[in-house]
Amino acid sequence: MNIGIDFKATIGGGGNQQYSLSLIKGLAQVDKENKYFLYSYFHSFLNAENNLIFSENFKTVPAYFSRLNLKLMPSSVINFINKETLKFSIKRHKIDIFHFTNPINFISSKSKTIVTIHDLAPLHDKNWAKVSSWEFYQKNIGKIIKQADKIIAVSNYTKNDIINFFNIEPEKIAVIYEAASDNIEFDYQPEFLQRHYGLRQYILYVGQLQPRKNIKLLIEAYGLLPANLRDQFDLVLVGQPRNDQYLLEIKAQISKLRLENKVKLLGRIADEDLSKIYSGAKIFVYPSLLEGFGLPILEAMKCSVPVIATKSSSLPEVGGPAAVYVDPTDSHGLAQEIKQILSDESLYCDFKSRGAKQIKKFSWRKTAEETLNIYQQVFKS
């Protein structure tokens, strides 16, 4: 088979990018026979940034223009040119299957197409996405799901969401789980954390700061903890805020609850420091209202940190019996669970042990093997 993958989906930060890059690396480990064409930007090749060959049967090729190439053209024109350029490249390389790991880049072509859907959050609440993302999902995601030959959903929750929104036959959707990054590992360095970030003992959240992630409920729950626990443990929030307005709202809540010296906003940190941040946490709390998968849960468990998550969307699928689950609307309930796991050493050790078992169920090699199996099924269909 000649398999095309949208390599520009690996550029940037966030869950989609991590999924795309980790999947490609996994495929390079498990498949030495089929030919892979990774389509990227022209300017990446001009700057020699993306000439990344994972294996002899993997080839990166230019197919996309950006504003760096076409500075005077509007986005709509650039998008049109990119669609036509990609169609030409697909035909030229005789692509049998094209896998769009991010649906926003989808185009219809004569090759068979597979699309990975991470979640349908923008369709649940307009405030959970950027305006551009909400508009894209409103106008296009239904058509993409129907036009694709196969859908990969990253959880059963997302699969059921697709079925409920678009009345798609279940057989068209394959569920393939993600995994924690291979770069995340236990790396406890207390002196480093204190020297570089001023951290000692803390409760941790990692992810974008935005309404869907339920950050305000977490801060409220932290404020409800007994004073002795707040004195002992800070609340550390790692991740970029969606925008300045939401950051102001968070800071206003922190100020209102008089937690300025206890809640630390670290923003986005260097990738090489993330394992250290995870490993230094006493517990990890993920209060999200909706997740297609929830990678930070596995990342925390991989760093030997007990996890408290909400019992919403896909999170119980990911955490399994290794996490404590709470109602995503109940700050008092969340505060109680935080208090209990911090105060009960036996319970704390039990959930650390459960996490170590749970992460063994997920790996990018397994993800790649299951994805390759889908390629073979679609090719033969």
Per-residue model confidence as pLDDT tens for the chain (381 residues): 999 998 887 776 677 788 988 999 999 999 999 999 998 887 665 444 444 556 889 988 888 776 665 566 667 777 777 788 888 888 899 999 999 998 988 888 889 999 999 999 999 998 888 887 888 888 999 999 999 999 999 999 999 999 999 999 999 999 999 999 888 999 999 999 999 999 999 999 999 999 999 999 999 999 999 999 999 999 999 999 988 999 999 999 999 999 999 999 999 999 899 999 999 999 999 999 999 999 999 999 999 999 999 999 999 999 999 999 999 999 999 999 999 999 999 999 999 999 999 999 999 999 999 999 999 999 998
**Contact call for residues 259 and 223 (beta carbons, < 8 A):** yes
Same domain, 118 and 219: no
Dist CA 72 CA 196 (whole Å):
43
Same domain, 233 and 292: yes
Q: Would you say the pTM of this structure is higher than 0.85?
A: yes
184, part of any domain = no
**Contact call for residues 225 and 343 (beta carbons, < 8 A):** no
Same domain, 63 and 149: yes
Q: Domain range spanning residue 213?
A: 190-361
Cβ neighbours of residue 109 under 8 Å, at least 6 residues apart?
Answer: 86, 87, 90, 91, 95, 98
**Contact call for residues 112 and 153 (beta carbons, < 8 A):** no
308, part of any domain = yes
Token representation of residue 177: 């789980």
185, part of any domain = no
Backbone angles phi, psi at 237, to 5 degrees: -110, 115
Same domain, 370 and 351: no
199, part of any domain = yes
Bridge-based pairing state of the strands 263-267 and 283-286 = unpaired
Dist CA 43 CA 302 (whole Å):
36
How much is the pLDDT for 50? 47
How much is the pLDDT for 48? 45
Burial of 160 by CB count in 10 Å (0-12 exposed, 13-18 middle, 19+ buried)? Answer: middle
Same domain, 37 and 165: yes
Same domain, 146 and 81: yes
How much is the pLDDT for 49? 46
CATH number reported for the structural domain that contains residue 133 in this entry: 3.40.50.2000
205, part of any domain = yes
Same domain, 228 and 85: no
41, part of any domain = yes
Burial of 11 by CB count in 10 Å (0-12 exposed, 13-18 middle, 19+ buried)? Answer: middle
69, part of any domain = yes
Backbone angles phi, psi at 109, to 5 degrees: -145, 180
How much is the pLDDT for 191? 96
210, part of any domain = yes
Same domain, 211 and 321: yes
Same domain, 226 and 328: yes
**Contact call for residues 317 and 157 (beta carbons, < 8 A):** yes
Same domain, 249 and 268: yes
How much is the pLDDT for 52? 53
